Amino acid sequence: MDILNESLKVAGGRDCRGLVRFLKEKYLLYARERPGSAGLFNTIRSILNYIRENGCTGVREFVEGFRDRYDKALWAASEVMAKRVVDGDVVMTNSNSVAVRRLFEILVRNKVKFSVYVLESRPGMEGLVLADYLDKLGVETYLVVDSAARFFMKNVDKVVSGAEAVAVNGAIVSKAGTSLMALAASEARVRFFAIAPTLKISLETIYGELVKLPEGDWRLLMDEETRRAMPEKYTARAPLYDVTPPNMVDGIATELGLYPPQSIPILVKTIYGTYPPQLKPLDTLFAELLGGG
Amino acid sequence: MSTIPQEVLDIAEGIRSMRIRGAGKIARSAAEALRIAAEKYQGEREPSVFRRYMAKVADTLIETRPTAVSLPNAVMYVMQAVFRQTSDFDELRRGVVDAANRFIEDSLNAVKRIAEFGSKRIRENSVILTHCHSTAAVSVITEAYKQGRVVKVYSTETRPFYQGRITTRQLLENGVPVVQIPDSAVRYIMHEVDQVVIGADTITSNGAVVNKVGTSQVALAAHEARVRVFVAAETYKFSPMTVIGELVPIEFRDPTEVVPREWLEKHKNVRVLNPSFDVTPPEYVDAVITEAGVIPPQAAIMVLTERLGWAIDKIKQAGLTKLRFEDLVED
């Protein structure tokens, strides 16, 4: 969680308006470029709520504590998922999620024998980074193109992905291609799990907000030289995330346990005390703390 | 016995060395080789001797590329005429030349007819998605665009070789608006798509479509979204071997097509698996558009028995890999 580390750098002193302004900047940037970043928005909300109730005193300690709790939650969620992987399992995943890396680290530590199919994950090719990580862990790994997910699904026991956000209906916002992988799993009756600490639950979706998904263009798919060789009218769309519907998700591994996707409202009630939770929109919180600025 | 003309041997060598490539070209070259062989035959004007000579030519041709389905199909199509019951040598030879010519002409016209039939299946204001590169599929889409029914085409990149870029280029040259997407975005984009049009490498007797890897998950995503899937394929892509239960071999190509060699050498625990094709089950295909008409994929067996019934009988007796036309000649 870079935002927490960065917050600590600007959180010095008794006046924390600088921190609030920094958070607002980040909020505006992410709302524009990565509007699906539920974890980030929830983090900002927590810090703002703390300042609103307690002033600036102790905000540094609060942020530190928050960071440590989040890190533990992420480990705990991966631990929950690790219990579902048994000796001999073949796992498929895409991209390079921290939660999924931790899952593999735990499995190796627990001496579980398993192998992994990694999708290369266009456009970012993060699958190569994950394959590199698995190689160093000494895990038997198969790297395949995204198009081969269905081809190899018959060999797979479980599919696991990280999550950028979890909508309140249990839909998972994750790296582009996840929903296609989940669909192929569902067709082959292979279980699909997402690892997501509860901080990734998008509270805005409770009020009907759609999670907006950013897209890139040809720059994500080729270099300038290749582009020049293509016709002038060449255009491309490269979505960064997609949405996996809850009916394809068998379980969401959180720090509080493995939950069926349809039970997210129960989780929200457990954490926030009520359902729906009493939330002030981030815009309102910023306006209160910065005086309309 | 008459020797095989040099021209025929040159064609066989061209197919073997992949100087002649592409399913259509290979098939037409093989038919042409058989025609030349028949025309240049200098031996005894006796049907059984002529049959033995033609069988030898056929076996020579088939041995060049045993896995490409279009090649044995072309040869079998022409050889049906060779084995026709007749005692009149001239009639027999004429029949063989006619069959070869008919095959070549049908094959050349096939894409045109597929475009004509296929374009009628595209509805007004359609957004189409295609995968990889297929001449037949591009022709269908272009023809439908000319008729004013295509608004936009999504073309997948098709890793590892990016054949989607060829598709995109060709469609743009034909004036068709195209947007390229990565293969991972297929399900994301599917809700904007009205129809999927793809080609085929091989179609099996039960109507399964063997095509570029990723095709089956394109079809799966289309099926989920209730988007129609059309496969554009010439009848010589239908595999008679599958009638006797033979599996279509799926080639695994070199891992360096996916990642550089240095990357592979640095990662000893990682194996890169690079299958070229996958199999789309017939239930995800709404129709196969052939030059002989639009058929449900399950009717593949009908195309096979109608067009290659004679060959299938022979394959049933011997199996294609062991099938030698020379053994079929009766004295």
User: 3-class DSSP state for residue A91?
Assistant: strand
Residue B328 has pLDDT above 90, yes or no: no
For A236, the closest of B181, B186, B270 (CB atoms) is B181
Answer yes or no: do B269 and A141 touch at CB < 8 A.
yes
Answer yes or no: do A242 and B188 touch at CB < 8 A.
yes
A4-40 in b/e form (b: 16+ CB < 10 A) is beebeeebeeeebeebbebbbebbeebeeebbbbbbb
Q: In chain A, where do the E strands start and end?
A: 89-93, 114-119, 140-144, 158-161, 165-166, 172-175, 191-195, 215-216, 238-239, 241-244, 251-254, 257-259
C-beta of residue A119 within 8 angstroms of C-beta of residue A180: no
Question: What is the predicted pLDDT for the residue at B69?
Answer: 87
Question: What is the predicted pLDDT for the residue at B1?
Answer: 62
Closest Cα to residue B277, out of B185, B206, B188, B198? B198
Q: What is the overall mean pLDDT for chain B?
A: 93
Side chain identity at residue B20, one-letter code: I
Average pLDDT over residues B201-217: 96
Answer yes or no: do B278 and A134 touch at CB < 8 A.
no
Answer yes or no: do B268 and A134 touch at CB < 8 A.
no
Closest Cα to residue B114, out of B258, B195, B232, B276? B232
Average pLDDT over residues B182-186: 98
Task: Walk me through the domains of chain A, giving residue ranges and CATH numbers.
Answer: 2-73+278-290 (no CATH), 78-214+237-272 (3.40.50.10470)
Answer yes or no: do A146 and B160 touch at CB < 8 A.
no
For A143, the closest of B180, B213, B258 (CB atoms) is B258
Six-digit token string for B75: 């040869």
Select the highest-mean-pLDDT range: A206-215, B193-202, B301-310. Answer: B193-202
- Secondary structure of chain B in the HEC alphabet? CCCCCHHHHHHHHHHHCCCCCCHHHHHHHHHHHHHHHHHCCCCCCCHHHHHHHHHHHHHHHHHHCCCCCHHHHHHHHHHHHHCCCCCCHHHHHHHHHHHHHHHHHHHHHHHHHHHHHHHHCCCCCEEEEECCCCHHHHHHHHHHHHCCCEEEEEEECCCCCCHHHHHHHHHHHCCCCEEEECHHHHHHHHCCCCEEEECCCEECCCCCEEEECCHHHHHHHHHHCCCEEEEECCHHHECHHHHHCCCCCCCECCHHHCCCHHHHHHCCCEEECCECEEEECHHHCCEEEECCEEECHHHHHHHHHHHHHHHHHHHHHHCCCCCCHHHHCCC
Fold of the B6-110+309-328 domain:
Four Helix Bundle (Hemerythrin (Met), subunit A) (1.20.120)
Answer yes or no: do B159 and A184 touch at CB < 8 A.
no
Average pLDDT over residues B130-154: 97
Q: Which of the four pLDDT bands, split at 50, 70 and 90, describes residue A208?
A: confident
Six-digit token string for B230: 């059309």
* Residues A95-125: tens digit of each pLDDT: 999 999 999 999 999 999 999 999 999 999 9
Answer yes or no: do B220 and A121 touch at CB < 8 A.
no
CB contact set of A9 (below 8 Å; sequence gap of 6+): none
DSSP letter at A209 equals: P
CB contact set of B126 (below 8 Å; sequence gap of 6+): B144, B149, B150, B151, B194, B195
* Residues B266-297: tens digit of each pLDDT: 999 999 999 999 999 999 999 999 999 999 99
Question: What is the predicted pLDDT for the residue at A210?
Answer: 78
Side chain identity at residue B244, one-letter code: I
Domain coordinates of chain B in residue numbers?
Answer: 6-110+309-328, 113-306
Six-digit token string for A286: 């910023």
B203-225 in b/e form (b: 16+ CB < 10 A) is bbbebbbbbbbbbbbbbbbbbbe
For B179, the closest of A140, A180, A235 (CB atoms) is A235
Alpha-carbon gap: B119 to the closest alpha carbon of chain A (Å): 24
Residue A242 has pLDDT above 80, yes or no: yes
Q: Which of the four pLDDT bands, split at 50, 70 and 90, describes residue A13?
A: low
Select the highest-mean-pLDDT range: A198-212, B148-162, B314-328. Answer: B148-162
User: Exposed, middle or buried, B325 (CB in 10 Å: 0-12/13-18/19+)?
Assistant: buried
- Count Cβ–Cβ pairs < 8 Å, chain A vs chain B: 145
User: 3-class DSSP state for residue A279?
Assistant: coil
HSE on the CB side for B116, CA within 13 Å?
8
* Residues B76-118: tens digit of each pLDDT: 999 999 999 999 999 999 999 999 999 999 999 999 999 999 9
Residue A158 has pLDDT above 80, yes or no: yes
| Contacting residues of A for B132, CB less than 8 Å apart | none
Question: What is the predicted pLDDT for the residue at B329?
Answer: 82
Q: Which of the four pLDDT bands, split at 50, 70 and 90, describes residue A10?
A: confident
Six-digit token string for A201: 């639950």
Average pLDDT over residues A273-293: 86
Q: Which of A117, A145, A161, A234 to mutate to test the interface with B (most CBs of B within 10 A)?
A: A145
Q: Catalytic residue at B90?
A: no
Scanning every residue of chain B, which has its alpha carbon at the shortest distance from the alpha carbon of A140? Answer: B269
Cα separation, A103 vs A222, in Å, equals: 32
Residue A292 has pLDDT above 80, yes or no: no
Task: Domain B113-306: give its CATH architecture.
Answer: 3-Layer(aba) Sandwich (3.40)
Give CA torsion, residues B253, B255, B257, B262, to 10 deg.
-160
Residue A68 has pLDDT above 60, yes or no: yes
Q: Catalytic residue at B313?
A: no
Six-digit token string for A234: 């060449």
Q: Which of the four pLDDT bands, split at 50, 70 and 90, describes residue A36?
A: confident
Average pLDDT over residues B167-174: 97
Scanning every residue of chain A, which has its alpha carbon at the shortest distance from the alpha carbon of B276? Answer: A148
| Contacting residues of A for B190, CB less than 8 Å apart | none
For B179, the closest of A131, A230, A237 (CB atoms) is A237
Scanning every residue of chain A, which has its alpha carbon at the shortest distance from the alpha carbon of B177? Answer: A233
Long-range CB contacts (within 8 A, 24+) of B199-202? B199/B132, B199/B133, B199/B134, B199/B135, B199/B136, B199/B137, B199/B231, B199/B232, B199/B233, B200/B134, B200/B231, B200/B232, B200/B233, B200/B237, B200/B288, B201/B23, B201/B69, B201/B237, B201/B277, B202/B69, B202/B237, B202/B238, B202/B239, B202/B248
Q: What is the ipTM of this complex?
A: 0.94
A279 against B28, higher pLDDT: B28
Average pLDDT over residues A254-266: 96
DSSP states of A105-147: HHHHHTT--EEEEEE--TTTTHHHHHHHHHHHHT-EEEEE-GG
Answer yes or no: do B216 and A151 touch at CB < 8 A.
yes
User: Exposed, middle or buried, B263 (CB in 10 Å: 0-12/13-18/19+)?
Assistant: middle
* Residues B294-323: tens digit of each pLDDT: 999 999 999 999 888 888 888 887 766 667
C-beta of residue B87 within 8 angstroms of C-beta of residue B65: no
Alpha-carbon gap: B271 to the closest alpha carbon of chain A (Å): 5
* Of A30-44, A96-110, A182-196, minimum mean pLDDT range: A30-44
| Contacting residues of B for A146, CB less than 8 Å apart | 159, 182-184, 214
Question: What is the predicted pLDDT for the residue at B13?
Answer: 95
Q: Tokens 């590329």 label which residue?
A: B65
What strand order describes the sheet that includes A172-175?
A: A165-166, A172-175, A241-244
Q: For residue A239, what are the β-bridge partners?
A: A215
Q: Which of B176, B184, B264, B267 to mutate to test the interface with A (most CBs of A within 10 A)?
A: B184
Distances (CA, A) of A102 to A119, A142, A175, B19, B206: 18, 18, 17, 51, 45
Cα separation, B103 vs B30, in Å, equals: 10
Catalytic residue among B106, B194, B201, B286: B201
Average pLDDT over residues A56-63: 92
Catalytic residue among B10, B88, B106, B132: B132
Question: What is the predicted pLDDT for the residue at B331?
Answer: 66
Residue A293 has pLDDT above 50, yes or no: no
Question: What is the predicted pLDDT for the residue at B114?
Answer: 98
Answer yes or no: do B159 and A237 touch at CB < 8 A.
no
User: 3-class DSSP state for residue A188?
Assistant: coil
The rounded percent of chain A whose pLDDT value lies above 90 is: 83
Cα separation, B169 vs B185, in Å, equals: 20
Question: What is the predicted pLDDT for the residue at B164?
Answer: 97
